[in-house]
């Protein structure tokens, strides 16, 4: 397993550089002048504009900009002092753990440090919510195929999938928060109590997919030959289902959860906007509106790393769920 993990980590290298370059290229290829966007409707002095373009490497070729941003090409050692107003060794690059400066002269790492904990708390709460309820509903429906519980799970999950997130968010905010008063409608402080309702909204769609995926996978495995053989040998039904059938049925669910964890971290723009949560989603949205490329690229680069780590954890869990899987 150790060799397999090392091999997967080495595979991350081309994936990381390829993904970050595509993100960097797409963000900085967006039409518009970020310096003018920073000034708003006011005219920008040509000298000031030239200085800012030089500081942020906006006039360099795209590959050179990327090389400086990622840390493969050294930058001007006076960049820290010129942009942030503080002496420093210069922007070292993403490979050294630095994400540069936003157009308003604030370190992107500081912006991320404020936003990431709030989104991480929201995403983890939604993740736990969808795992517990989604797998439980899927198991109940799979074991009682054709029953009222099975039909209820199918109908309710289909309804949840069909309702857009922004509709579900506003409806939950209005009914649960305003009319019933069971939960806060504003989660600006991102406390546990404030995030319960947003986490349920954020994880509702994934919960529905997990329930249907668990149900389908469990139904397929219950008809497999190894289950019939184990039952014919006289093994208790609880052991057949819990030790063999359920573990094999969870393999596609684990795959989905690995992808979904990264999606929850980056896909909370609508939910954070509805509940006024100052997290990653809103940070990226505001960065796009202001044409603040360093912020957008910095946050999405962080999300790329989250996706890669979650996929590695999924692969490692495969062997635990199914001993027949070997790391070749």
Looking at the structure, tell me whether residues 181 and 117 fall in a common domain.
Answer: yes
Q: Which of 24-28, 84-88, 94-98, 108-112 has the lowest mean pLDDT?
A: 84-88
Looking at the structure, tell me whether residues 280 and 163 fall in a common domain.
Answer: yes
82: helix, strand or coil: helix
- Which letter does DSSP use for residue 105 in this model? S
207 within 8 A of 134, measured Cβ to Cβ? yes
Task: Give the 3-state secondary structure percentages of the chain, helix then strand then coil, rounded to 5.
Answer: 75, 0, 25
258 within 8 A of 314, measured Cβ to Cβ? yes
Give the ranges where 164-245 is alpha helix by DSSP (H).
165-172, 192-222, 225-232, 237-239
Is 115 within a domain?
yes
Looking at the structure, tell me whether residues 69 and 204 fall in a common domain.
Answer: no
Mean pLDDT of the residues in the chain: 81
Q: How many CB atoms sit inside 10 A of residue 26's CB?
A: 12
φ and ψ at residue 208, rounded to 5 degrees: -65, -45
102 within 8 A of 294, measured Cβ to Cβ? yes
218 within 8 A of 245, measured Cβ to Cβ? yes
Is 191 within a domain?
yes
Give the ranges where 89-191 is alpha helix by DSSP (H).
108-143, 148-162, 165-172
Which of 61, 73, 55 is CA-nearest to residue 25?
A: 61
Q: Which domain holds residue 41?
A: 25-105
% pLDDT > 70, the chain: 86
Q: What is the pLDDT of residues 144-183, one digit of tens each?
A: 888 899 999 999 999 999 998 889 888 998 898 888 888 8
What's the CA gap between 143 and 211, in Å, rounded? 12
Is 308 within a domain?
no
Is 262 within a domain?
yes
Is 317 within a domain?
no
Specify the number of domains making up the chain: 2
Is 276 within a domain?
yes
pLDDT (average), residues 58-78: 76
Burial of 247 (0-12, 13-18, 19+ CB in 10 A): middle
Check which CATH number belongs to the domain holding 221 and give it.
Answer: 1.10.3720.10
Is 267 within a domain?
yes
Q: What is the pLDDT of residues 271-296, one digit of tens each?
A: 888 888 888 888 888 888 877 888 88
Q: How far is the CA of 315 from the CAs of 44, 153, 207, 259, in angstroms?
A: 52, 29, 21, 12
Which of 199, 204, 180, 183 is CA-nearest to residue 277?
A: 199
Q: What is the pLDDT of residues 185-232, one digit of tens each?
A: 888 887 888 899 999 999 999 999 999 999 999 988 888 888 888 888
138 within 8 A of 211, measured Cβ to Cβ? yes
Looking at the structure, tell me whether residues 234 and 251 fall in a common domain.
Answer: yes
Looking at the structure, tell me whether residues 144 and 243 fall in a common domain.
Answer: yes
Q: How far is the CA of 192 from the CAs of 122, 185, 187, 244, 289, in angstroms?
A: 9, 13, 9, 37, 29
Looking at the structure, tell me whether residues 86 and 192 fall in a common domain.
Answer: no
Looking at the structure, tell me whether residues 140 and 175 fall in a common domain.
Answer: yes
This prediction's pTM? 0.79
- Angle ∠(288,289,291) on CA atoms, nearest 5: 60
Looking at the structure, tell me whether residues 93 and 142 fall in a common domain.
Answer: no
For residue 322, is pLDDT > 70?
Answer: no
φ and ψ at residue 101, rounded to 5 degrees: -125, 145
């Amino acid at each position: 397993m150790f060799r397999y993990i090392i091999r997967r980590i080495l595979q991350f290298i081309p994936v990381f550089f390829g993904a970050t370059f595509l993100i960097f290229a797409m963000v900085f290829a967006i039409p518009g002048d970020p310096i003018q966007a920073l000034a708003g409707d006011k005219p920008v002095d040509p000298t000031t504009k030239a200085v800012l373009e030089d500081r942020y490497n906006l006039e360099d070729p795209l590959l050179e900009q990327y090389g400086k941003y990622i840390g493969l090409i050294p930058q001007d050692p006076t960049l820290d002092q010129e942009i942030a107003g503080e002496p420093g060794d210069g922007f070292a690059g993403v490979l050294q753990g630095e994400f540069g400066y936003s157009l308003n002269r604030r370190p992107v790492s500081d912006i991320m440090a404020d936003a990431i904990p709030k989104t991480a708390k929201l995403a983890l709460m939604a993740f736990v919510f969808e795992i517990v309820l989604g797998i439980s509903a899927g198991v109940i429906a799979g074991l009682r195929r054709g029953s009222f519980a099975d039909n209820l799970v199918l109908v309710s999950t289909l309804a949840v999938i069909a309702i857009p997130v922004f509709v579900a968010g506003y409806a939950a905010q209005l009914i649960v928060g305003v009319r019933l008063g069971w939960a806060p409608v504003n989660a600006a402080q991102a406390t546990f109590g404030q995030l319960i309702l947003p986490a349920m909204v954020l994880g509702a769609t994934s919960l529905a997919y997990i329930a249907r995926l668990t149900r389908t996978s469990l139904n397929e495995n219950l008809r497999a030959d190894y289950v019939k053989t184990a039952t014919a040998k006289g093994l208790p039904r609880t052991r057949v289902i819990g030790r063999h059938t359920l573990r094999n049925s969870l393999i596609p669910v684990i795959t989905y959860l690995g992808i979904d964890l990264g999606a929850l971290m980056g896909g909370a723009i609508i939910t954070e906007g509805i509940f006024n949560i100052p997290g990653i989603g809103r940070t990226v949205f505001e960065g796009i509106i202001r044409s603040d490329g360093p912020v957008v690229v910095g946050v999405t680069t962080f999300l790329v790393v989250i996706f890669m780590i979650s996929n590695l954890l999924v692969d490692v869990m495969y062997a635990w769920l199914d001993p027949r899987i070997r790391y070749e």
